[in-house]
Amino acid sequence: MSRSKSLQLTDEQWERSGLHGELEAANGAAAAKYDRRRDVLIVTMKSGAVATMPRKLFPELARASAEELSDLEITPLCTSILFRSLEEAISVFGLIREAFGINVQNRIAGMTTSQARAQASRRNGKRGGRPKATTR
């Protein structure tokens, strides 16, 4: 059985989290719609960028009807799309990361090796390396 820990933030962490939320909302979605003909979600960001994403990329939307997908709205903070009929909200940035493979690209970048990275790893190892994981 897992035991939940209470999360205690410092004033600085609380301030940063608020700024992060404000930044995410400022860069969030301005509009979203489902295009039945092409079976895609179209999200227009506040920056003016438009992302067109095939529904098939999102398993949570696979069984939804066109009517259910069309019944959507942007949440008040502009960070999620709420599919009212499905009672499902999906992060705008999560959709974009998934559609454009950004998480995959980051993982691949993290696996790359270079002479500079190997040298940095050796230097860190001389300083004791990565801290050991602790269990409670």
For 74-112, how does the pLDDT look when each residue is reduced to its tens digit (9 = 90+)? Answer: 998 888 999 999 998 998 888 888 888 776 555 656 666
Spatial distance between the Cα atoms of 119 and 127, rounded to a whole number of angstroms? 13
pTM of the model: 0.60
Give pLDDT < 50 ranges for the chain: 1-5
In a domain, 10, yes or no: no
Within the chain, how many helices (H) and strands (E) appear? 5, 6
Reduced to 3 states (helix: H, G, I; strand: E, B; else coil), residue 112 is: coil
Q: Is 17 within the bounds of a domain?
A: no
Instruction: Kindly report the length of the chain.
Output: 136
In this prediction, residue 2 carries a pLDDT of 41
Q: What is the CATH number of the domain that holds 33?
A: 3.30.2020.40
pLDDT of residue 104: 55
Q: What is the pLDDT of residue 94?
A: 84
Report yes or no on 86 lying in a domain: yes
Tell me the C-alpha distance between 59 and 46, whole Å. 26
Query: Is-contact 46 31, C-beta < 8 A?
Result: no
Residue 15 falls inside a structural domain: no
Radius of gyration of the chain (CA): 20
37 within some domain: yes
Residue carrying the six token digits 């066109």: 66
Predicted confidence at residue 95, as pLDDT, reads 86
pLDDT at residue 81 in the model = 94
> 91 lies in a domain?
yes
Q: What are the angstrom distances between the C-alpha of 111 and each of 104, 114, 116, 118? A: 11, 10, 14, 12
Q: Is 100 left (phi over 0), alpha (psi -120 to 50) or beta?
A: alpha
Residue 77: give the domain boundaries: 29-125
Nearest to 96 by CA among 34, 21, 45: 45
62 assigned to some structural domain: yes
Is residue 116 in some structural domain? yes
How many structural domains is the chain composed of?
1
